[in-house]
Structure 1
Amino acid sequence: MRPLAAAAAFAAAALASGAAMSARAREFPSLSELPATPFTLQDASLASFGLRAAAADLAWVQMLQYVGASLPGLPADRPGRPYDHLLTLALRVARLDPSFHRSYLYAAGILGWFRGVDRPEEAVALLQEGIRRDPGEPLYALYLAALAYKQKGETDRMIALLESAFEDPRTPSQMKTILANARKARGEYAQALALWERILETPRDQAQHARARLQIAQLKRLMHPASPLPSPPR
């Protein structure tokens, strides 16, 4: 079975058994399962003092720092592999605190949907780990199914799935922008405009508000191009 076909089957099974999975107690992975990074000593030290949640918060901030610019102490990305270390950094957060669903979802969105990244197999691996480590979170299975639709070219079904989670407070802002851009790329300017306006109206999406204003203005110009100037009188 091809990896993404297997992922789709895995997602369907996870959705079907979500209630049973949520009843299982979450278990913290052993510190030996943390991925090797320049910050391993920092993580182990905090965790050994019973501060795993604080260690995960710090790891999350460092992951965002890496995505936004660069993270001191981390090797440069290899040529042709943007966000080369993102999977490792996301797993670092998640294995410090398996219930840190933002780490799985945020990184999977970049790995699976960002233009120029296109590493869906890494997104699949991350989401599957989320299902195992953080059972009962339905967005992992939903994103797996959406990725499978994307790879099969079934964009309508992918968009429908992502839109079904648009108002979920756990949906990362960047996934909302991915959805709006997918609508725009298909020439569906009115739908894209509506999505950007919803982003702008949502306080928890504040990090995307400046971008939303730019996109709204651009989409309005695309929908209502300037009327041609009248011909000069003869």
Structure 2
Amino acid sequence: MEIFKDRVILITGANRGIGQSLVKALLENGVKKIYATCRDVAQLPDFDDRRVIPMRLDITRPEHIQNAVRDTSDTEILINNAGVLHGGTILEGDVVGMEYDMKVNYFGTISMMRAYAPLLEANQPGYIINIVSIAAYSPLPTIAGYAASKAALFSATLSVRIELAKKGITVHAVNPGAIDTDMNKGSDWEMPSPDSVAIKILERVATGELDIVPDDIGQHMYSAWKEEPARLAKIFSDIYHG
């Protein structure tokens, strides 16, 4: 995957799940440097590789982003992976949790794209890889606030793709389904490992695929939605009502 060879990459939410797996996969594909960021660097695993630079970064805090931009001016690929999930329905879910999902998943990611676009343009060809979610298509009532934040992010990703195309920056949207991460802990679904999904994401970015659904569960949901959005809504209605 030559697209990553000798490149400098920043990943948010690198402490676990898909973010951690992306760091490991990139290290196996010739990257020059990875800024591995999260809110608490003490939570970062030991990647045992000098190419990994741990950094504290809370994407909801403007001062953190400003400091990161100052210290990572050689970034060529931005992977926006940081995200949170608060369960709950629209009518009964915790509104504070819904607001925080939107603050991190949508506004935080937008803040990162706005801050890093000038750097990526200067270091082009630049790439933005947004880890969104198949929930952008899925009206699952039990995670309704999270799904809304991801739907908003997906829309923003498509918009900024058009905006940045003339600046030498390619924008990819990744919409995974249920992956075996802490976010899905306790689920009885048969889910793929984040390591296997991370490799598929990188392979598809390398081939130029812009909208990526890297797993079978996500592909099943996406196919149902693509055939007819009401069909996917019916699937989740049946799940919700038992």
Q: One fold, TM greater than 0.5?
A: no
Mark the structure with the bigger radius of gyration. 1
More helix by share: 1
Q: Give the structure with the larger strand fraction.
A: 2
TM-score normalised by L of structure 1: 0.34
Output the TM-score relative to the length of structure 2. Answer: 0.33
